[in-house]
Amino acid sequence: MLQIKKISVSVEGKPILADIGLELNAGEVMALMGPNGSGKSSLAYALAGHPKYAVDKGKMFFDKKEITELTPNERAMMGLFLANQAPVAIPGLGIKSFLWQIYKKFENEKRMDLVKFRNWLDDEAEKLQLKNGLLERGLNDGFSGGERKKMEVLQMLVSKPKYIILDEIDSGLDVDALKIIALRVKKMVKEDKVGVLIITHYSRILNYLKADKVVIIEKGKVKEMGGMELVKKIEDKGFEEKK
């Protein structure tokens, strides 16, 4: 279980989040929704351990182990993965070599050799409809927005996280890319019991990746919690109706 217990977060002394309390179980999908500037991405960064986001109060737990003071690397090694809203390009960092190093770091029990790993990687890239030759480039170098989001999913598959934070992974995606990504994450939830916190403004990705819990956040505070019925209300009335 990923637990957030009444945390308050600030950036350079400015309060951003107040008394946020959430619980995400293994194999569960939680949708975090709200208007622009409500603090959704700030919560994602705080969970991932971004040093800019100071947790002034409260605690966070990963399968009952407190992670509030752990570094981003330590959290990642435990199995926490943040898919960035705007993945950066790193020219010169070869994708296949990069992913092979990640795989070796996280897989200790049934590790494939390099040849088998690269064949598996090519197969998964094909399922994600990443074009031939993209894996021969530097990380995200010359990639479109949709290709960068698919590369985030490929990194998830390699690192096998227990909990995933998807920070607006649906932004800028066409219908086909959205469906491919959502269904691949759904498969991870079903087969590997991965817990997913999906941050989004819109309901379209939730048509493929159904949420067990929906949380509305406004002005840095949780305003309402429920199920998919909240998504329908937001579609009909917008966030301004959520008082």
CATH assignment of the domain containing 218 = 3.40.50.300
Domain count, the chain: 1
State residue 189 phi and psi, 5-degree precision.
Answer: -65, -45
Range of the domain at 170: 2-241
**Residue 33: per-residue pLDDT:** 93
With residue 60 as reference, give the H or E element that holds it: strand 53-62
pLDDT digits (tens, 9 = 90+) for 63-116: 999 999 999 999 999 999 999 888 999 999 999 999 999 999 887 778 899 999
Question: How many other CB atoms sit within 10 Å of the CB of residue 54?
Answer: 15
Contacts (Cβ under 8 Å, ≥6 apart) of 86: 148
Could you tell me the pTM of the whole model? Answer: 0.91
Torsion sign (Cα): 35, 213, 81, 60: positive
Q: How confident is the model at residue 242 (pLDDT cuts 50, 70, 90)?
A: very low
Q: Angle at which helices 145-159 and 175-192 pack, to 10 degrees? A: 10
- Ordered alpha helix ranges (H), the chain: 40-48, 72-78, 95-106, 114-127, 145-159, 175-192, 229-237
Closest CA to 21 of 195, 220, 166: 220
Counting Cβ atoms within 10 Å, is residue 70 exposed (0-12), middle (13-18) or buried (19+)? middle
More confident position, 236 or 169: 169
pLDDT digits (tens, 9 = 90+) for 159-217: 999 999 999 898 888 999 999 999 999 999 999 999 999 999 878 899 999 999 999 99
State residue 172 phi and psi, 5-degree precision.
Answer: 80, 5
Closest CA to 21 of 3, 2, 45, 41: 3
Query: Which residues share a beta bridge with 94?
Result: 138
pLDDT, average across residues 116-121: 95
What does R_g of the chain's alpha carbons equal in angstroms?
18
Phi-psi region of 24 (alpha: psi -120 to 50; beta: other; left: phi over 0): beta
As a whole number of angstroms, the distance between CA 123 and CA 196 comes to 24
How many helices and strands (H and E) does the chain possess? 7, 12
State residue 29 phi and psi, 5-degree precision.
Answer: -115, 125
